[in-house]
Structure formats: structure tokens, C-alpha cells
Amino acid sequence: MYSLNDKIKNLQPYEPVEENYRIRLDANESFLALPEGMISEIGTELKNVVLNRYPDPTARELCKAFAELYALPVECVVAGNGSDELISVIMSGFLKKGEKYATLEPDFSMYSFYGNICEAEHIRIEKNADLQIDIDTSINLCKNNDVKLLIFSNPCNPTSLGVSKAEVKKLLLALPETLIALDEAYMEFWHESMVDELSNYSNLIILKTCSKAFGLAGIRLGFAASSKQIIDAIKAVKSPYNVNSLTQAVGRVVLSHKDEISKAIGKLLASANELHDGMIKLAEKSGTWKILDGHTNFVSVLMPNAENFLSYMQSSGVSIRYTCGLIRITCGTAEENKEVLRLAEEYLA
């Protein structure tokens, strides 16, 4: 009789949140729809997509648009079917079976998920009690364990906290033989990106996603930026037609509208600040809640009995996340934020 192997037999399929919430603030998506003008431009582009042919395997025009946006050489960029796919490709390509990779916990759960699949050994480095990264401890543990790949998000999901460029540089310089995959999924909401420093380090890969600040979670699109040598290796490891033609067309249009992108990020930031400030006031009232001082489009909260708060919100029709001991609320429209704050106040009362 056939039986599943050890690494997959206890895995559970990813369970998305059910659809019946009136307000969805659980996945850090953008709450903004694309502007009308862009939608019609996308319509025109989609009509010209040749559906009976395979997509461009290197997504050249799409990568060009991305490279221009970030002032990078196009040969230093590769596109993926979401940055999730790139995480998977990087971990399975750059780690051999049994080799060690490190994460800085708590962090994005997909890192250990893909590490497990490629049978690498996971070194879990705990963050400080205040949930900040301890750079010196991280360096020492990576060195002592011969860690081949260190992957972390900055700013971090789920903590919302960020680590400065100076600290990231310290890591890169202290671990020249470790590949450092820096997941900047939320860096559009902060200003400590390492993109402009990429050419100074041979051990740095930066990951970007279109699912958050760019408002394109539905098309599954992400990018990796690194040296030409590393990008060529990723291109060789990935499946050839990983980004479909429809996604390439939509991505090309959206990424070429720099001004619209900045405008959208401005709106998302304003919403995040509004939610953050409202939660700070409630935290003062509560005496026990702690709002983390974040740099993302979500607000992370430490509170006693977080499960109760989670079920209170859910039973009121609002979907949020409770993960790694943190309540995580994605910012939404003005009305959605208001409703969340009203319910949170009601819960406190």
C-alpha cells in the first residue's frame, strides 16, 4: 500500500479565510482598486495577449518595467508567480539537502514551510523580547551553525517592525558566505530599502511582491533582485513559464505608472496611520494592550486573551489575524478602520 513520506504526511493545505466576513483585514492586501484609466489600459493590453502561445519565459518587458521603477539593471531582476514562488525556488535551489537555513522568529511562516519541503535544516533564531532583531546574536548563531541561507522580512510580517539599513549592512558584511534573502514585501511603506545598495553585496537577494503596496494580490506577481550571477541561477532553477501572459500584461501596465503607484502608497499609509493612532488611543484606555511601532500597512498588537478579541471581531463580521501571539489588523478604507476601532472600543467596554 502506498504511504506518504515523512516530510509531507502531516502537512495541511493552506486554509484561506472563509468568504462570509463583511470586512476582510486579514491578509495585508491593498484595499484600493486600480484607477479607472489603468483598468481600461489593462483591458486593451489583455486583448492583445496571445493565449495559444506560451508566455515569455524571462518576462522581459515586465522585468524592464520593474527594473526602471527601482533603477536596477534588468539583468539583475527575475519575476515569479508571487514572491512565494521565488522563496520556494531560492530555498530549493540554493540549499542542498541537510544544509542549514536560518529565520528570525517570529517571521513569515512560508520560509519554514519551503525549507521543510527541500529537506534543509532549520535554525530558528529568536528575536528579542521586544520582537526586534538582535543583530549580534543572529550573526553569531549563523556563524556557529554554518548557516548557508538567512531569510527574513523587513519590515516584518507579523510584527510590523523594521530593522535599519545600517543593521542589515552589518549582517551582510559579517556573513559574507551566507546568502541573505531580504524580503522587502512591505518596504514600500518605509524607507530603509537595500535596493540601492544591491551592487555592493554579492550575498544579497531582495524580494518584492506586487500583492501589498501595488494592490495586485490577485495576479500573483513578485520579483527577486540580486547580482546577475544569482539572478541567472534563479532563472535556471525556476520553471520556464512561471509567470503567465495575463499577469505579465497587467504587471507591465501597472508598474509603468510610477505616479499612480506613489499616490496609492500615500493613501495606504494614511489609512495605516489612522488605524495605528486609533489603536494607540484604545491601548492607553486598556492599560494592557501594546501597539507595536510598525512600518507596514497593518497594525500589530500584543494583548492578553488575544483569542477572545479575535473571536469578538470575527463574530462581528470582521476578519483579522491572530498569529505568533500577535493580533494583526490590515488597514482598510476609512469606514472599515472606523468600524474596527468602534468594535475594539466596544470589546474593551
Interface contacts to ligand PLP, rule CB under 6 A = 28, 82-84, 108, 153, 157, 183, 185, 209, 211-212, 217, 222
Strands 121-126 and 147-153: unpaired
Can you tell me the distance from the alpha carbon of 299 to that of 170, in angstroms, rounded to the nearest whole number?
A: 28
Do 172 and 255 meet the contact criterion of CB atoms below 8 Å apart? Answer: no
Nearer CB in complex with ligand PLP: 82/332? 82
Measured in whole angstroms, the distance separating CA 53 from the mean position of its chain's CA atoms is 31
**Beta pairing class for 290-291 and 222-225:** unpaired
Beta strand pairing call for 318-319 and 23-24: parallel
Torsion of CA 203, 206, 207, 209, to 10 degrees: -170
Q: Supply the minimum distance, in Å, between the C-beta of residue 154 and ligand PLP.
A: 9
Sign of the torsion angle spanned by Cα atoms 205, 215, 335, 316: negative
Which CB sits closer to ligand PLP, 186 or 343? 186
CB of 155 to ligand PLP, least distance (A): 9
- Report whether 158 contacts 300 (CB < 8 A): yes
Name the residue number minimizing CB distance to ligand PLP: 82
Closer residue to ligand PLP, CB minimum distance, 157 or 337: 157
Q: Closest separation between CB of residue 153 and ligand PLP, Å?
A: 4
CB nearer ligand PLP, residue 222 or residue 278: 222
Residue placing its CB nearer to ligand PLP in the complex, 157 or 247? 157
- Closest by CA position to 248, among listed 277, 223, 275, 280: 223
CA 340 to chain centre: 23
Min dist CB 296 to ligand PLP, Å, is: 9
Residue 122 or 281 having the CB closest to ligand PLP: 122
> Residue 82 Cβ, how far from ligand PLP at the closest point, in Å?
3
Going by C-alpha positions, the residue among 114, 85, 84, 86 that lies closest to residue 101 is 114
Indicate the residue among 90 and 283 with the shorter CB distance to ligand PLP. Answer: 90
Which is closer to ligand PLP, CB of 138 or CB of 339?
A: 138
Q: How far is the CB of 157 from ligand PLP (least distance, A)?
A: 4
Q: What is the largest CA-CA distance in the chain?
A: 61
**Residue 146 C-beta: closest distance to ligand PLP, Å:** 25
Least separation, in Å, of the C-beta of 308 and ligand PLP? 25
Which position has the grid cell 520553471?
A: 239
275 Cβ contact list (under 8 Å, min separation 6): 299, 329, 331, 332, 337, 340, 341
Cα(321)–Cα(25) distance, integer angstroms: 8
